[in-house]
Amino acid sequence: MSAETGVIHDIGYRRYTGRRLGRAQIVRALYWHSLRSAFGLGRGAKAKIVPVIVFVIMCLPAIASAVAVANGNPRLVPYDTYVFQLRVVLMIIFVAAQAPELVSRDLRSHVLPLYFCRPLRRMDYPLAKLAAFITACLAIIEIPLVLLYLGTIAQSHSPHAIWTQTRAFIPGLLVGLMWAVLLAAIGLAMASLSGRRAYATGGIAIYFFLTWILAGILIAVTQRNVVRSATINPPPGARPPGVPATGPIKVHMMTQVPTTASHLSGLVSPFTTLDGVRLWLGGTSKGALPGVGGYGALYGAMFLVLLAASIGGLFARYRKAGAL
Amino acid sequence: MSAPLTAPAGAPAAEPDSGAPVIQTSALSKRYPGPVTALDALTVTVAPGITGLVGANGAGKSTLIKILLGLLEPTGGEARVFGRDCQRDGEQIRGLTGYMPEHDCLPPDVTATEFVTHLGRMSGLPPTAAKERAAESLRHVGLYEERYRQIGTYSTGMKQRVKLAQALVGDPRLLLLDEPTVGLDPAGRNSMLELIARIGAEFGISIVVASHLLGEIERICDHLVAIEAGRLLRADTITSMTQVSQVLLVDVDEGSDELLAELGRRGLEPRRHERSLLVRLDGDATYDIVRDAIADLALPLNRLEQRRRRVEELFQDDDADALVTAGTGGGPSGGGGPSGGPGGTPEAPHVR
Amino acid sequence: MSTIELRNVSRWYGNVVAVNDITMTIGPGVTGLLGPNGAGKSTVLHLIAGFLAPSRGELTVDGAASWRNPGLYRTVGLVPERDSVYAFLTGEEFVVATARLHELADPAAAARRAIAIVDMAEAQDRKISTYSKGMRQRIKVAAALVHDPQVLLLDEPFNGMDPRQRLHMMDLLTKLGAEGRTILLSSHILEEVERLADTIQVIVSGRLAASGDFRAIRRLMTSRPHVFLVRTSDDRLLGSALIGRPAVAGVEVAHGGLQVRASDYGTFSRELAVLARDHGIRLREVLPEDESLESVFAYLLES
């Protein structure tokens, strides 16, 4: 018979002898963590409401178009402008609601020193956050475009038709990329100014809405009203009995004609700036701007200025914030 | 946990020696525009074990911590942690160090488990290891079911423990604890101090505790570094700073006047000090004289002990008792750099 | 000489009873107000300072109720726990402003005196936002002292102070107490309260658990044997002698000496030296292990 034995296991402190990941992987982990919080993953049901609703509504035109195409109609919306107004509103909501999730919360709880005392560099933090939020905005904008494309080519029967669609789709993707990058940068930069989510959300929403409305007003107001006239001659040939004879009719029409001012008005809002760049690069669909009238390069410059200012501001903010 | 590789990526090239100094600074200076001098040619060596960091002027303490973590450039001198230069190898040092800030730094709407796991990832642990070590760290600091609740629901004591757990999760070789007991009630302080002492003794991690409370430092630390106005005031072992003096303290609940007279009659030259009597210790015979005096008078004896120096005396401008100066033992020992402290003729300390 | 009197004072917030039927008197000298977090200490301080009205009972300072009594603030100075200073003012401006609020005859002189007392004269012209935590505390104390109050209420006053500042503040409070002022000090740092306070008031879950000198309180805990650590020339011999005495409940060889549990403290303390002498044992050390304020406090919480 064996002697009775018992063991007391040592569950004291254990050293960690496993793999340690380098800075790049730490930043990647922070990127994924931030991307998840942009969609409210891992934070409970309430945090997912806004991202999910925004995404679903953004997809609706694509789905409607797929259905229409399946019934033999042409594609309902263009790739490069999609449904412009809808995009504007939905992106304002998404950026204003979610940018604070990524940065304001950490500022409010003063957790940043716990990041900076770890083996990553100070600027890795805003870098990871920016990359994550750009990815999030990209998803919201591009996935519906992809759905639109797939829904259309599903009904295409020739390689030529598919190629036609693809040729229109790619620029649309590029426009979407510009949108994602600029809006993410502006949103994060503004959110990083406040630890209070309400202020951050309000600030971002107000900025985007006000400039958007202002651009719309300016464009409408600065266009010149011009009267165009035309003469309509009566059709030649026999007249049906009972119809009186008429002479030529003069028709006057009031139209709006863009001016320099109206060409430039789009610069006040990031959305119209984006549209201006689209037009400058050769976009043909009708967006928010009636035209850039030779000032396309200005729009390109404005886009870069806004982008640089936002990214610069974001990084500058984290140079000082969260000091140990 | 993934199988350990023989050459872990990003791990220190050489494991810190058990005897080698943990922190070393040499003429370390930091001046801010102001003109504010946070550190002024500070030269100090911190040995393994638990070291208390005491200082007048808060700027020096936080500046020192930032420099050690490679987050701030000194205006002069250099600093090393585990032999690595703080400016060049800051990232490596941060990988070897755990930091527990003094201020509130916890988000209210995540659970302790999620929070510590995430910070484990930020320390460079792979996903599974981060989860496992987070669980272990929380267990070591004494957080059990509470870890699944949101941090916003925690008491101050529990929040301090979470802060400590996140410092431990990356398996640091050095812990920097900034005022770990602030805001805790006496029971909470006790637990936290015991926890820190245990970590220092059993986990094999060197600890630097920054604290204003000298009682705490005397209780759990092996060494002390005292900084004043950015300069080193004293760097020493706690033992040598709390050495026994050649003064015997006697405390009786009643009849101290009679005892005073009686001891005087027996030739001991007793003096009063607050509630007690002090006599110079002249060999073992003194103990017997005191005992006999008390026994003969049938007085209630409450306390009899050799008076010890206290760390606090470092910050007192005058010595409390001339008797103490005359009979003290020990000056600075260990540590490096200039040390100021109460003077006294060094004598062989009375060993327990 | 001022006296603070509480008679059956209770204070509740809805269902939460923060202070439950407390009767106590606080006289001149330094009194320590102790208790675990959330026990109601801050509430008691705010009641005394007149910021809250008692839900029941009477609370008077020198016979006058503290609630709705602006005249109270001539006698009372309060140093609250929270940061309650205007960071954009200089230290001097802040104390002068407080002096003006008190309608003192010469605010500038009073401010200078108060600032000198707390040893902040060097930094008084700097903005408070540049002060360390300990300096902010000191300027708060100066503001509380500027009108020379008879009563001083302090909530965790040493928070953030470095050792030198603490010693200085402790000396200051001792001096003020010796002058006959009534000082009520709430703190978690028991080693310091032990040295400063002549009396303590211990609040546990809103109730007053104990009052008075903590050593006397310890003596009252007769069901708990006093624990002593004794080191002698022959521990075991003494141990065997002690265990024969009725005043001794237990003896243990531990911690490099003898741990003695004395059920009758008075008798034991008188017998120890006699016993040692009669057996020819040299007493080297006699240390009470559980008579500190920390031990007394811990025992009070247990019961």
Domains of chain B: 23-239 (3.40.50.300), 245-308 (3.30.70.980)
Q: Which chain B residues in 298-327 lie under 8 Å from chain A, judged by CB atoms?
A: none
Which residue among A19, A114, A324 places its CB closest to the CB of B166?
A114
B 151-170 residues with CB below 8 A of A? 166, 170
- What strands, in cross-sheet order, belong to the sheet with C182-186? C76-79, C151-155, C182-186, C29-34, C199-204, C207-212
Same domain, C183 and C131: yes
User: Per the CB < 8 Å rule, is C274 touching B304?
Assistant: no
Residue ranges of the domains in chain A? 23-207
Question: Among B53, B185, B213, B350, which would you mutate to test the C interface (most chain C Cβ atoms within 10 Å of its Cβ)?
Answer: B185
Contact list, B255 vs chain C (CB under 8 Å): none
Residue B231, CA distances (Å) to B51, B57, B137 in order: 17, 11, 36
pLDDT of A275 reads 92
Candidate from B105, B114, B121 with C-beta closest to A114:
B105
Q: Which residues of chain C have pLDDT under 70?
A: none
pLDDT, mean over chain B: 84
Kindly list the residues of chain C whose beta carbon comes within 8 Å of any beta carbon in chain B.
34-37, 132-134, 158-167, 188-191, 256, 266, 269-270, 272-274, 276-277, 282-288, 291, 294, 297-298, 301
* Residues A60 and A104: beta-carbon distance below 8 Å: no
Q: Using CA atoms of A178, A184, A189, A190 in order, give the dihedral in degrees to the nearest 10.
A: 110
The whole-number pLDDT of residue A230 equals 87
Helix or strand (DSSP H, E) at A210: helix A197-222
Q: What is the pLDDT of residue B57?
A: 65
Q: Is A72 on the interface with B (CB under 8 A)?
A: no
CA distances A129 to A37, B216, C60, Å, are: 10, 41, 58
Distance from CA of C113 to the nearest CA of B (A): 23
At B143, list the tokens. Answer: 């957080």
Q: Are residues C13 and C137 in the same domain?
A: yes
Instruction: Point out which residues pair with B175 in neighbouring strands.
Output: B98, B207
Nearest CA in chain B to A324: B66
Closest approach of chain C CAs to the CA of B8, in angstroms? 42
For B305, the 3-state DSSP assignment is: strand
User: Given a contact as 3+ CB pairs under 8 Å, which chains touch B?
Assistant: A, C
Q: How far apart are CA C219 and CA C259, in angstroms?
A: 19
Rounded Cα distance, C271 and C262, in Å: 11
C-alpha distance across the termini of chain C, in Å = 35
CB neighbours of C9 closer than 8 A, spacing ≥ 6? Answer: C19, C21, C22, C23, C47, C54, C56, C57, C58, C59
The range of the structural domain enclosing residue C117 comes to 4-212
Whether C160 and B284 lie within 8 Å, measured CB to CB: no
Beta bridge partners of C212: C200
Q: Does A105 touch chain B (CB under 8 A)?
A: yes
Of C212, C231, C254, the last residue of a domain is C212
Question: Shortest Cα distance from B208 to chain A (angstroms)?
Answer: 15
The span from the CA of A216 to the CA of A218, in Å, is 6
What is the reported pLDDT for B328?
42
- For chain B, positions 256-295, list CB contacts with chain A under 8 A: none
Same-domain pairing of C225 and C207: no
The answer to whether residues C230 and C201 belong to one domain is no
- Cβ neighbours of residue B218 closer than 8 Å, sequence gap 6 or more: B238, B242, B310, B311
CA-closest candidate to residue B108, choices C245, C67, A106, A118: A106
Looking up residue C289, the CATH number of its domain turns out to be 3.30.70
Q: Residue C240, by phi and psi: left (phi above 0), alpha (psi -120 to 50) or beta?
A: alpha
Query: What pLDDT score was predicted for residue B9?
Result: 43
The reply to whether C45 and C177 lie within a common domain is yes
**Beta strand segments in chain B, E:** 23-32, 36-46, 50-55, 76-81, 84-85, 97-100, 174-178, 206-210, 223-228, 231-237, 244-252, 271-273, 276-280, 301-308
The pLDDT, as a whole number, for residue A236 is: 78
More confident residue, C212 or B327: C212
pLDDT of B331: 37
Is residue A37 a contact partner of residue A102, using CB atoms and an 8 Å limit?
yes
Query: Which residues of B fall within a CB distance of 8 Å from C270?
Result: 298-301
pLDDT at residue C215, as a whole number: 87
User: What residue type is assigned to position B333 of the chain?
Assistant: S
Picking from A17, A21, A102, A110 by the largest number of B CB atoms within 10 A of its own CB, the best residue to mutate is A21
pLDDT at B346 (0 to 100)? 36
CA angle C215, C221, C227 (to 5 degrees): 75
Contact B329, B343 (CB under 8 A): no
* The pair of three-digit structure tokens given for residue A100, joined into one six-digit string: 């604070």
- Spatial contact of A53 and A90, defined as CB atoms under 8 Å apart: no
pLDDT bucket at B274, cuts 50 / 70 / 90: confident
For residue A307, what pLDDT is reported?
A: 96
Q: How far is C286 from chain B (nearest CA, A)?
A: 5
If you measure CA to CA, which chain C residue comes closest to B255?
C270
Alpha carbons A237 and B305: distance in angstroms, whole number:
134
Tell me how far apart the alpha carbons of residues A247 and C130 are, in angstroms, rounded to a whole number: 90
Report the gap between the CA of B34 and the closest CA in chain A (Å).
18
Q: Choose the weakest-confidence range: A234-243, B26-35, B96-105, C59-68.
A: A234-243
Provide the CATH number for the domain around residue C196.
Answer: 3.40.50.300
Q: Mean of the per-residue pLDDT values for chain A?
A: 90
Q: Shortest Cα distance from C252 to chain B (angstroms)?
A: 19
**Nearest-by-Cβ selection for A324 from B66, B199, B204:** B66
What pLDDT score was predicted for residue B58? 64
Q: Is the pLDDT of residue B154 over 90?
A: yes
Chain B residues inside the 8 Å CB shell of A121: 91
- Count other Cβ atoms within 10 Å, centred on residue C283: 23
User: Which of C274, C285, C287 has the CB atom closest to B295's CB atom?
Assistant: C274
The more confidently predicted of residues A102 and B229 is A102
- Whether A46 and chain B come into contact, CB under 8 Å, resolves to no
Same domain for C51 and C70?
A: yes
Whether the CB of B133 is below 8 Å from some CB of chain A: the reply is yes
Tell if the CB–CB gap between A114 and B119 is shorter than 8 Å: yes
**Helices C133-145, C163-178: inter-axial angle, 10-degree rounding:** 20
Beta-bridged to residue A232, according to DSSP, are: A249
Task: Count up the domains in chain C and report the number.
Answer: 2
What does the alpha-carbon distance between residue C208 and residue C297 come to, in Å, rounded to a whole number? 12
Asked whether the beta carbons of C9 and C54 are under 8 A apart, the reply is yes
Other CB atoms closer than 10 Å to residue C120's CB: what's the count?
Answer: 20
Q: What is the pLDDT of residue A182?
A: 97
Tens digits of residue pLDDT in B174-219: 999 999 999 898 989 999 999 999 999 998 899 999 999 999 999 9
Determine which of B73, B122, B132 to mutate to test the interface with A (most A C-beta atoms within 10 Å).
B122
Are the beta carbons of A93 and A175 closer than 8 angstroms?
A: no
pLDDT at position B235: 93
Residue where one domain finishes, among candidates C165, C182, C212:
C212
Quote the pLDDT of residue B250.
95
Q: How confident is the model at residue B2 (pLDDT cuts 50, 70, 90)?
A: very low
pTM to 2 decimal places: 0.86
Judgement on whether residues C242 and C137 belong to the same structural domain of the protein: no
Please write down the long-range contacts of C234-238, taking CB distance under 8 Å and 24 or more positions apart.
C234/C279, C234/C281, C237/C279, C237/C281, C238/C275, C238/C276, C238/C279, C238/C281
What subunits touch chain C, counting only 3 or more CB pairs under 8 A? Answer: B
For range A8-12, the mean pLDDT? 80
pLDDT digits (tens, 9 = 90+) for A129-184: 999 999 999 999 999 999 999 999 888 788 888 888 899 999 999 999 999 999 99
Contact C3, C182 (CB under 8 A): yes
Helix runs in A223-295, H state only? 260-264, 270-280
C198 in the same domain as C237 = no
pLDDT of residue A287: 82
Task: Mark yes or no for CB contact B187/C133 under 8 Å.
Answer: no
**CB nearest to A18's CB, from B69, B129, B202:** B129
pLDDT-derived band at B348 (thresholds 50, 70, 90) equals very low
Whether residue C240 is found in the same domain as residue C193? no
The answer to whether residues C152 and C283 belong to one domain is: no
Q: Which residue has the higher pLDDT, B12 or A43?
A: A43
Structure tokens belonging to residue B234: 């004293």
pLDDT higher than threshold 60 for residue B10: no
Lowest mean pLDDT among A24-28, B57-61, B103-107, B220-224: B57-61
Instruction: Check whether residue C19 and residue C148 sit in a common domain.
Output: yes
Q: Do chains C and A touch (3 or more CB pairs under 8 A)?
A: no
CA distances from B101 to B68, B106, B138, B167, C162 (A): 14, 10, 17, 9, 17
- Same domain membership, residue C150 and residue C58: yes
Return the sign of the alpha-carbon dihedral for residues C169, C174, C180, C181.
positive
Of C175, C195, C212, at which residue does a domain stop?
C212
Please report residues of B whose CB lies closer than 8 A to that of C282.
284, 287-288, 291
Which of C155, C152, C157, C154 has the alpha carbon at shortest distance from C177?
A: C152
